Amino acid sequence: MKEIVVISGKGGTGKTSFTASLVPRLKNLVLADCDVDAPDLNILLNPEPDSIEDFVGTRKARINPMLCNACGLCVDSCRFDALRPAADPGSAAAPTVLDSRCEGCGVCAHVCPQDAIRMDDTVVGTLTRATTAHGPMVHARLVPGEETSGKLVFAVRQAARALAEEKGADFVLVDGSPGIGCNVISSLSNADAVVIVTEPSVAAFHDLKRVVDLVRRFSIPMIVVINKHDLSASNTRRIKAYCREAGLPVGMTIPFDESMIRAITDRRIPSEALPDFFRRHGFNEFVEQLVGGD
């Protein structure tokens, strides 16, 4: 089984569209959408859910007002400013917990002399196992503002690998997150190959170098795809020169074409909607290189 992760240094490069385009070419696969903050691979693949489960990622402080004597020790001890005292300074009301600030460290519960605070598990997202026309898929969505994307990504990959082993799949194809944060790091561990999708802009070139530095720490083979390469010939040349110096193969350069936009708008996989376009620009050779590479 080979696990292929598609990532990008920044959003908007066409990473998910390219991931979807790989799907029909990788037979006997399991899909994993690890962009849990903004998952959208499901828009093109239209998965039918088989199971949806809550994901518990953090603990939050909960105060029992019947036990609290409003001493204020918890408020003074919270370094994240997640507890607010009662508005009336003379009130005996319990402090208010701001869930968006609470990091689940438990200091407030530790210092409370009344044992009025407990740390409760909190649902921070959902994990979905689904079926698509091209094989099983695992995807998830994190509650906006929560900080446990790395843990949820790990759960998605763990579920995808379990499905792949159960079904004897040849590939796990992962649509990763943009950037270099903990969610990207979580999507890279134990991967067999990484595809980095970039575009010829100053921001994308800068972020390409950052994500290459990250992947190198994992010693995973990389291959670069330059999307919309004809929008800036000078930046494309800079990216290619950097890749040559860094010893990175550029597997494919894709020109901008409005037919790609129409295909995505119609919720069609680009490589299926535009087979001649992809063939002309070396998609078949790219897939052979990706699948056959060690």
pLDDT of the residue at 219: 94
Structural domains of the chain sorted by starting position, each given as residue range(s) with its CATH number in brackets: 2-46+133-292 (3.40.50.300), 58-123 (3.30.70.20)
State residue 293's pLDDT score. Answer: 55
pLDDT tens readout for residues 231-246: 999 999 999 999 999 9
DSSP secondary structure string for all residues of 175-202: EEEESSSHHHHHHHTT-SEEEEEE-SSH
User: Residue 180 in contact with residue 146, Cβ under 8 Å?
Assistant: no
Do 184 and 5 form a contact (C-beta atoms < 8 A)? no
- How sure is the predictor about 90, in pLDDT bands with cuts at 50, 70 and 90? low
pLDDT (0 to 100) of residue 286: 95
Q: Write down the pLDDT at residue 113.
A: 96
Strand stretches in the chain, DSSP E: 2-8, 29-33, 48-63, 83-84, 96-97, 117-132, 135-142, 171-178, 193-198, 222-227, 250-254
At 24, the pLDDT band (50, 70, 90 cuts) reads very high
Both tokens assigned to 112: 């409370």
For the segment 151-162, the average pLDDT, to the nearest whole number, is 94
pLDDT tens for each residue of 94-105: 999 998 889 899
- Contact between 34 and 175 under an 8 Å Cβ cutoff? The reply is yes
